[in-house]
Amino acid sequence: MKIIVGLGNPGVRYENSRHNIGFLVVDRIAKTNHISLSTRLSKILYGLGWIDSERVVLLKPTTFMNRSGEAVIKAFHLFGSGTEDLIIIHDDLDLPFGRLRFKRRGGDGGHQGVRSLIDSIGGNKFLRLKVGIGRPPRGMDPAEYVLETLDKAEQSQLGEILSGAAEAIRVTLIEGVDRAMNRFQKKRSNNGTLE
């Protein structure tokens, strides 16, 4: 059983922030696959269901981003899973807005949620889907930028990006990550379409 974790911060204040793109993708996956994200335990909100023929847990940590690893450890104990069953979805400053990129292993890239995961589970042997949020304007603190609400231009593209990310996860589960990489790691042109 795969555990699909979207990273973000809990609470209304952060609901539509760039840093919560992982939460938004998991919400879209849940909606698309009729999975109820309604079971709340200490440190996690989750739902069990199916994506095509694959049994999955969709999970959102209820800790703050820099303690996400605590939630994943809780899920491992609850579901008897390990790092080979883990898929993490998170925002990435170094990718243009809306660009998708899969990554196996690697460092945290300065992402506090990924750092917490690596520290908590004792390694980086998990699959990630990174969703680009772009760089902040010159002179703006990246920590401030990621916590800002998505602007109107970003919100206008958000539905397509979330659907693409949800489909990328489905393809990964059913056809494998290499097929998903070939289909979804494309450049996004200036007008927002995929090249």
Which residue(s) pair with 45 in the sheet? 40, 60
CA distance 118 to 133: 22
Is 34 a catalytic site residue?
Answer: no
Q: Which two tokens stand for residue 8?
A: 């973000």
Name 61's bridge partners.
44
Please name the residue that has the structure tokens 């998991």.
Answer: 26
In order of 8, 51, 107, 117, 120, the CA distances from 123 in angstroms are 20, 27, 10, 8, 8
Which two tokens mark 74? Answer: 């809780």
Q: Is 37 helix (H, G, I), strand (E, B) or coil?
A: coil
Of 19, 34, 77, 90, catalytic? 19
Residues paired with 132 in a beta bridge: 92
Active site residues: 19
